[in-house]
Amino acid sequence: MLAKAPTPLTYSFDNDMRLKPMGGSSFEGTITPNWSVNGDPNGGYLMAFMTSAMQQMSDKKRPVIVTANYLVRGEPCPSTVIVEEISTGKQLNRFQARLMQNGIEKTRGWGTFMDGNNCPDAGRYEKGPPLLPARENCFRFPALPKYTLFSNMDVLLDPSCAGWIKGEGELAGISEHRGWIKFNDNRPCDHLSLLLMADSFPPPILASQGPIARVPTIEYSVNVRAVADTPWIKAIFRSHFLTCGIVEEDGELWDENGKLLVVSRQIAQMRKI
């Protein structure tokens, strides 16, 4: 007898994104410890959690631009998302969301939503996806204690970017991470999961500087262009400037057919350990 295909709520990500409407513009759920980096909830997970609440408020369901400011460190615990409508129009809906934990606002986000899953035009690309080694030749990022994100995501680094974590060879000459990513349980890609995936690689500044610092995100912005048609997703993240303890991270996600999925940018602090 063939095994029954899993329903969406059997996937870990969907289980950990459940939000219950509480009337008005308030939603309640639980930030779980399953998507943590050094014990703290991943910023992409927090963004997706808030975006899910905004999505429920919107009659246009496709998040195309989402930005979050991380005000105070989040934690795994029961949480409330309070959504405020900013504007609605023929093409775009815009919302603001506040993630509250124990009466404290931890993260504030803004979301812009459109209709449909695909753009009507073919688009124009002036660059292509990153060139990557075969997956079997890449370095699988380990599921370290307190780094539960990597127990739920398969993150494969190009070996040329992985010297800092492998503890062998020289550090990279540039601050860049390239590789492959998918959910460990093979959950299909959608708009909300791309918000998490674009924040699931280690900071690229570590490739050139080594594991000498924490790099907490101050602001994170994601422009979602499309949903993947392939299970594995190609990723590239690059930092060009480190000044006054502030570093930027520019990212792209592509599917294996060469379709652009995400353009992202983070602004983070670099704090010496």
Burial 133-164 (b: 16+ CB within 10 A, else e): beeeebbebeeeeebbbbebbbbbbbebbbbb
Phi (first) and psi of residue 59, to 5 degrees:
-80, -15
Query: Range(s) for CATH 2.40.160.210 in the chain?
Result: 10-114, 135-272
Kindly tell me if the per-residue pLDDT of 121 is higher than 80.
no
The DSSP-derived string for 168-220 is -SPPPSSEEEEEEEEETT-PPP-HHHHHHHTT-SPPTHHHHH-S-EE--EEEE
Query: Strands 260-269 and 246-255: what pairing?
Result: antiparallel
Q: Which range (30-34, 97-101, 165-169, 235-239) has the least confidence?
A: 165-169
**What are 70-107's pLDDT values in tens digits?**
999 999 999 999 999 999 999 999 999 999 999 999 99
Residue 8 has pLDDT above 50, yes or no: no
What pLDDT is recorded for position 120? 62
Q: What percent of the chain shows pLDDT beyond 90? A: 86
Determine the Cα–Cα distance for residues 59 and 91; give it in Å rounded to an integer: 11
Cross-strand pairs, 265: 221, 250
> Could you tell me the fold of the domain covering 135-272?
Porin (2.40.160)
Q: Spell out the CATH class of 10-114.
A: mainly beta
pLDDT in tens, 210-253: 988 789 999 999 999 999 999 999 999 999 999 999 999 999 99
In the predicted model, what is the mean pLDDT of residues 45-54?
Answer: 98
